[in-house]
Amino acid sequence: MSRNIAGVSQTAAETREAADQVLGAAGDLSRQADLLNTEVTRFVQRVRAA
């Protein structure tokens, strides 16, 4: 029984670590999307002004 509990604890820790990595990647992706949106907006404004 204690092996099962240890296994569950280990799996939970690994899942938590993976979730933290996914959260970090999602944050990075969000920042990149914001930057891309800003750049596209500037580009469209320059095209309209030309």
pTM score, whole prediction = 0.71
* 40 located within any domain: yes
* 8 located within any domain: no
4-36 CB burial, b ≥16 within 10 A, e <16:
eeeeeeeeeeeeeeeeeeeeeeeeeeeeeeeee
Q: Which domain holds residue 44?
A: 25-50
What pLDDT, on a 0 to 100 scale, did the predictor assign at position 35? 98
* 20 located within any domain: no
Q: Quick: pLDDT tens for 1-50.
A: 778 888 899 999 999 999 999 999 999 999 999 999 999 999 999 999 99
What pLDDT, on a 0 to 100 scale, did the predictor assign at position 29? 98
What pLDDT, on a 0 to 100 scale, did the predictor assign at position 2? 76
User: How many domains does the chain divide into?
Assistant: 1
